[in-house]
Amino acid sequence: MGFNPADLFRVKSAAAKFNANHPKLIPFFGAAKNKAMTPGSVIEISITDPNGERIETNLRVQESDVEFINLLTEMAAKNQ
């Protein structure tokens, strides 16, 4: 299975647009990783659609999750 460099460019472009649309998300994860993002912590996520219907879930943070969040925040910092 080969890696297409054009896909990396598309992901980088989409991530930049996402960050521009939601500028508080990366700083939120940065603050959370410094204070509360430790193995055993629980992240709760909910989505409410325009009709008011809500779905929600949660996850218990694993060490690999912390590593992934650190990677994302490092990548975001390099691209600012």
Q: Which residues is 42 bridged to in the sheet?
A: 60
Q: Which residues is 43 bridged to in the sheet?
A: 59
The boundaries of the domain holding residue 62 are 5-78
Write out pLDDT tens, residues 1-18. 567 888 888 888 898 899
Q: What is the number of domains present in the chain?
A: 1
Question: Predicted confidence band at 74 (pLDDT cuts at 50, 70, 90)?
Answer: confident
66, 43 in Cβ contact below 8 A? no
39, 66 in Cβ contact below 8 A? yes
38-75 burial by CB neighbour count: b if 16+ within 10 A, else e? eeeeeeeeeeeeeeeeeeeeeeebeeebeeebeeebee
Question: What is the value of pTM for the model shown?
Answer: 0.61
